[in-house]
Structure 1
């Protein structure tokens, strides 16, 4: 049996494991502090164990919902408060304890929130040490904390950037920049379900580039590769902000229009088609497009909508060929 978890599903489960391991690590640390006779420190840090356990249980129960992220803020503030409370009595131990908090915050909080909280925590730490231990100790602590915070931020940012890049590669067509065929079915299924729940119409517009292979033969694949991103960008400027454009085939682009009736989609189709054909697309002498618009029927699934759309495109193509033959 294969278990396939997305990043959104894997993160809360990973946090549960880390919190349980952190609770065990704190328990071992408390035992060592107890053996050294640091009883006030033991009693204070013992609060961290139920905080970790409660957070792990809460996140596990809320793992399939978005609300689990809120408990991380409470946990970070609890850990920081405990360390700052004990800082005047145990400056060396608590300073090293606070060094690890930025690493922990970047693991469980969004990048911007983790950066802000860690920066404020560093300022408070340095200020308290300056007042209690002197300028040199505060300066050394500030340098160490800044290095740790900067390293953690760079690693978190690069990880986030890598995730964005992988998601973009997985969802978009690498040549045109439009969403790819795989994402088309996911997005259309989502919009169909949203439209049914909100009682809103969903429509599609198909744009077919005529003579696609002939354009490649005449101008070369390099010119076509440079043309497609410009074509997609121009099409996106002609539609609404919530509409999306997909590339289903070499010459087939589909616009998904949420909250749009079929009659409105036909009007938009004519405007998009006319605007794109009237533009100057160098080095092409002219650009010929075929366009089809249709509305999603109630209870229809994404695969059925695609089949009906392709059938209408083929029907239009046969009609165009028959008209051309009749004209000749």
Structure 2
């Protein structure tokens, strides 16, 4: 379901680029036939760019939640709206086409980037397009533009809230595709009860990716998410039948290993560690990871095991030690 939605969204985005490219091509043809040769250059240049983005987006997928070519397309569209000469006698104000810009921007990009680009375009229109109009006309256009901008922002916000709600209901982490921490708690409770009832062992592995915060800080959120996705996929491929993979927190993955002793957990730990070390590419240097095995103790309840999981993470341990060593004011 997730892949089908992603493919559908990719094709809709590609179709949008293709429509914009064809529109630029038709405009270039129209102004050429009308003899407005000074207005041919910009649409003629933007036509192959937008068509190329559309074909590229149609053929290739991306691990990013938003289209990486969107900024290029929106900048091209913004430049066109700002500096394209007035040529058509029946439509002499190109700035009205700018009213649709926020709708396109909020569909292609996150809310913050869309808001910034939309407000930047509005500023450019006020300086380059609306300077010849009266104050009343400028205010009317600004109100119309801001109304559409607000509607697009609220729609984007509503979509994100619905997506998060759906993620909670399905128990899936949006970035890695693994099960999330909320789902882990219910599964841990069930597995501990089953293990105590059947007297079968239960083990788990904590996989901490210590470079994740630094990757996000140095290379950006997109690179950090790609790094996490690659690690998660490799962890899934290393799992045995019956094992379950979760994202415990920002930089920690967890493997739940039913019917597994400490020796079995150590064997899987060694295999996973070598695969991660040799196959995961980190742009900041060799992979820095810690894999900690834990087993259910006799008579231990799920609440105690959950507490022990949190206490066993090295990054949370370092935070607790730092808090204790910090001088009191």
Q: What TM-score do the two structures reach when normalised by structure 1?
A: 0.52
Q: What secondary structure, in the 3-state scheme, does the structure 2 residue paired with 1:122 have?
A: helix
Paired residue for 1:114? 114
1:211-222 pair list within 5 angstroms:
none
In structure 2, C-alpha distance between the alignment counterparts of 1:118 and 1:179, rounded to whole Å: 45
In structure 2, C-alpha distance between the alignment counterparts of 1:190 and 1:99, rounded to whole Å: 53
Q: Indicate yes or no: 2:291 matched with 1:203.
A: yes
Work out whether residues 18 and 55 of structure 2, in 8 Å CA contact, stay in contact via their aligned partners in 1.
no
In structure 2, C-alpha distance between the alignment counterparts of 1:93 and 1:140, rounded to whole Å: 14
- Count of matched residue positions in the alignment of Structure 1 and Structure 2: 226
Q: Indicate yes or no: 2:123 matched with 1:123.
A: yes
Structure 1 pair 35–57 and aligned structure 2 pair: CA distance change class (3 A): closer
Q: What secondary structure, in the 3-state scheme, does the structure 1 residue paired with 2:131 have?
A: helix
Work out whether residues 84 and 125 of structure 1, in 8 Å CA contact, stay in contact via their aligned partners in 2.
yes
Alpha-carbon shift at residue 149 of structure 1 (Å): 0.7
Q: Deviations over 1:163-189 (max 9, x none)?
A: 233234432365776888854399659
Paired residue for 2:97? 97
Q: Deviations over 1:207-245 (max 9, x none)?
A: 648768xx9xxxxxxxx9xx79xx85885366244x8xx
Work out whether residues 103 and 149 of structure 1, in 8 Å CA contact, stay in contact via their aligned partners in 2.
yes
In structure 2, C-alpha distance between the alignment counterparts of 1:52 and 1:135, rounded to whole Å: 35
Paired residue for 1:319? none
Q: Deviations over 1:183-216 (max 9, x none)?
A: 439965997743443686753444648768xx9x
Structure 1 pair 113–143 and aligned structure 2 pair: CA distance change class (3 A): same
Alpha-carbon shift at residue 108 of structure 1 (Å): 1.8
Structure 1 pair 124–191 and aligned structure 2 pair: CA distance change class (3 A): farther
Work out whether residues 9 and 64 of structure 1, in 8 Å CA contact, stay in contact via their aligned partners in 2.
no
Paired residue for 2:81? 83
Residue in structure 2 matching 1:184, options 233, 246, 260? 246
Alpha-carbon shift at residue 119 of structure 1 (Å): 1.1
Q: What secondary structure, in the 3-state scheme, does the structure 2 residue paired with 1:121 have?
A: helix
Q: What secondary structure, in the 3-state scheme, does the structure 2 residue paired with 1:184 have?
A: strand
Bigger radius of gyration among the two:
1
Q: What TM-score do the two structures reach when normalised by structure 2?
A: 0.52
Structure 1 pair 49–157 and aligned structure 2 pair: CA distance change class (3 A): same
Work out whether residues 101 and 118 of structure 1, in 8 Å CA contact, stay in contact via their aligned partners in 2.
yes
Unaligned 5+ runs, structure 2: 173-179, 189-242, 248-252, 256-270, 281-285, 318-329
Q: What secondary structure, in the 3-state scheme, does the structure 1 residue paired with 2:69 have?
A: helix
In structure 1, C-alpha distance between the alignment counterparts of 2:38 and 2:291, rounded to whole Å: 64
In structure 2, C-alpha distance between the alignment counterparts of 1:29 and 1:21, rounded to whole Å: 12
Paired residue for 1:12? 10
Paired residue for 2:54? 56
Alpha-carbon shift at residue 106 of structure 1 (Å): 1.5
Q: Indicate yes or no: 2:318 matched with 1:236.
A: no
In structure 2, C-alpha distance between the alignment counterparts of 1:190 and 1:153, rounded to whole Å: 43
Work out whether residues 102 and 148 of structure 2, in 8 Å CA contact, stay in contact via their aligned partners in 1.
yes
In structure 2, C-alpha distance between the alignment counterparts of 1:117 and 1:195, rounded to whole Å: 41
Work out whether residues 62 and 68 of structure 1, in 8 Å CA contact, stay in contact via their aligned partners in 2.
no
